[in-house]
Amino acid sequence: MDKPPIKPGELWHFEYITPTFIQGELVEKVLTKGRTRYQKYIIHDTSIFGRTLVLDDKTQSAAFDEFVYHEALVHPAMLTHPNPKSIFIAGGGEGATAREVLSYRGVEKVTMVDLDQEIVELCMRYLPDHHQGCFKDRRLNVIYRDAYTFLQQSEEKFDIAVIDVPDPLENGPAINLFTREFYLLLFKHMNKDGLVIAQSGPTGPAFMDQCFSAVSNTMASVFPIVSVCEAFVPSFGTTWGFVIGSDSLDPSKLSTQEVDARIELRIENNLSFYDGITHSGMFSTPKYLRELMNKETRIITKSNPLFVP
C-alpha cells in the first residue's frame, strides 16, 4: 500500500511508538512550541485527537481521550481508600489529574509537585478543557520542585499518591521517579491504608516489556500489595498500564456494585470512562501480560535506571 499523500503546506505530527512503529496525525494549528529548562514541548490542535500536549516528542495528553487516561489513573486508588483526604500528585502539569482528585467531596488537601513551572503555566493557558479551572481550587497547592527532592525534605503524609510524570526517557526529567528509592520514599510518606498509583507505560503485546513489568516488579519490592490494571488510550497508540501499591488494600478486590456505590457517594463530577464494569475490566489483565510479570526480574534503581525508547 502506498503511503498516504501529504499535501503541500500540510503539517503532520509523527510519533515513534517504538523505533519501528510510527503514528502520524495531521496538525491543524500549532499554538505554542519551544523548550523549557527541562524538556521540549508542543501544544497543537490535531485532526483526530484535538488539542494535544507533546513533551520530548511523546504525547502526554489529548483532548479527545484524556478523560480515559486520567479517570483510569486516579479513581481505582481513590475509590479503594476508605476516605482519602490528603493527596500527593507528582507531575500532572495539565491539571487533569488534579481535576479528577478534586472531584471527591471528602478531599481536603492536594499537594501537586511539578518540576516544570513553565509547562504548568502553558497548560493553564492553552488547556482549559483539561484542567477545567481546578488550579483555582483552594484545596490545591502547586509546588514547583522535583518530586523526589520534595519528599526527601517533607514530613507530610498522604492517603493517596498519584505519579503522573512523563516516561523515563534518557536525559528526561522523570528518571528517578520510576526507581525503588522513590517508591521507598513514597512508602514512608503514606498514611495507614494509603495507596500509590503510577502511570507505568504501554501494555500492548508489542510494547509491554518497555517499562510496565519492570515498574510493577520494582513497586512490589517495596509495597506488600501490588495490583495492576490497564486502559486503551487511542492517542498513545496502545493500551496503557497503571501499577498500584499499598500496605493493606487491593483495588482489584472491589466489586462492580461497590465501585458504583462509592462513585455515587463520593464524586461530584460525571465520569465518562470509569465505573464498576470498567473497573472490573481494567483489572482483568490478559494472559500475556500476567505471564510477563511472572517472569520479570528487573528492579529499577538510581544506579540501574530504566530508559524507554
How does pLDDT run across 203-215, given as a tens digit for each residue?
988 877 889 999 9
Query: Which 8-state DSSP code applies to residue 151?
Result: H
Residue 173 has a pLDDT of: 81
Residue 305 lies in a domain: no
Tally the domains of the chain.
2
Q: In this structure, are 54 and 163 located in the same domain? A: no
Residues paired with residue 140 on neighbouring β-strands, in sequence order? 110
User: 7-12: which pairs have CB atoms within 8 A and are 24 or more residues apart?
Assistant: none
Helices 180-188 and 212-220, packing angle to 10 deg:
50
Task: Check which CATH number belongs to the domain holding 124 and give it.
Answer: 3.40.50.150
Sign for the pseudo-dihedral over CA of 102, 275, 223, 58: negative
pLDDT at 120 over 70: yes
Q: In this structure, are 90 and 192 located in the same domain? A: yes
Residue 301 lies in a domain: no
Residue 157 has a pLDDT of: 97
Residue 175 lies in a domain: yes
- Of the pLDDT bands very low, low, confident and very high (cuts 50, 70, 90), residue 1 is very low
Mean pLDDT, rounded, for 187-208: 93
Residues paired with residue 170 on neighbouring β-strands, in sequence order? none
Interatomic CA distance for residues 136 and 120, integer angstroms: 13
How does pLDDT run across 133-161, given as a tens digit for each residue?
999 999 999 999 999 999 999 999 999 99
- Pick from 222, 168, 175: which is nearest to 195 by CA? 222
Mean pLDDT, rounded, for 20-34: 93
User: For the chain, what's the residue count?
Assistant: 309
- Pick from 264, 59, 90: which is nearest to 160 by CA? 90
Residue 228 has a pLDDT of: 97
Interatomic CA distance for residues 224 and 133, integer angstroms: 37
Residue 309 has a pLDDT of: 74
Residue 304 lies in a domain: no
What is the CB-side half-sphere exposure of residue 202 using CA atoms within 13 A? 20
Residue 4 has a pLDDT of: 62
- Of the pLDDT bands very low, low, confident and very high (cuts 50, 70, 90), residue 168 is confident
Residue 2 has a pLDDT of: 55
Beta strands in the chain (DSSP E): 11-18, 21-35, 40-46, 50-55, 58-62, 86-91, 109-113, 140-143, 158-164, 190-202, 225-233, 238-246
- Pick from 173, 163, 145: which is nearest to 199 by CA? 163
Q: In this structure, are 96 and 17 located in the same domain? A: no
For the chain, the C-alpha Rg in angstroms (whole number) is: 19
> Exposed (0-12), middle (13-18) or buried (19+): which is 153, by Cβ within 10 Å?
exposed
Answer whether 0.75 is exceeded by the pTM: yes
pLDDT at 88 over 90: yes
Give me 218's grid cell.
520494582
Query: Which residue is catalytic, options 146, 159, 164, 167?
Result: 164
Residues paired with residue 87 on neighbouring β-strands, in sequence order? 110, 160
- Determine whether 250 is an active site residue: no
Give me 11's grid cell.
503539517
pLDDT at 121 over 80: yes
Q: In this structure, are 30 and 104 located in the same domain? A: no
pLDDT at 21 over 90: no
User: What is the residue whose three cell numbers read 460525571?
Assistant: 270
Q: In this structure, are 207 and 229 located in the same domain? A: yes
- Of the pLDDT bands very low, low, confident and very high (cuts 50, 70, 90), residue 191 is very high
Average pLDDT along the chain: 94
CB 99 within 8 A of CB 134: yes
Q: In this structure, are 90 and 43 located in the same domain? A: no
Residue 232 lies in a domain: yes
Interatomic CA distance for residues 123 and 95, integer angstroms: 8
CB 92 within 8 A of CB 59: no
Q: In this structure, are 30 and 75 located in the same domain? A: no
- Of the pLDDT bands very low, low, confident and very high (cuts 50, 70, 90), residue 127 is very high
* Among the ranges given (83-92, 165-174, 263-272), the one the predictor scored with the smallest mean pLDDT: 165-174
Domain that holds residue 30: 11-62
Residue 43 has a pLDDT of: 98
CB 55 within 8 A of CB 39: yes
Q: In this structure, are 128 and 26 located in the same domain? A: no
Sheet of strand 238-246: strand arrangement: 140-143, 109-113, 86-91, 158-164, 190-202, 238-246, 225-233
Interatomic CA distance for residues 32 and 101, integer angstroms: 28
Please give the full DSSP string across 173-191, using - where no structure is assigned.
TTGGGGSHHHHHHHHHTEE
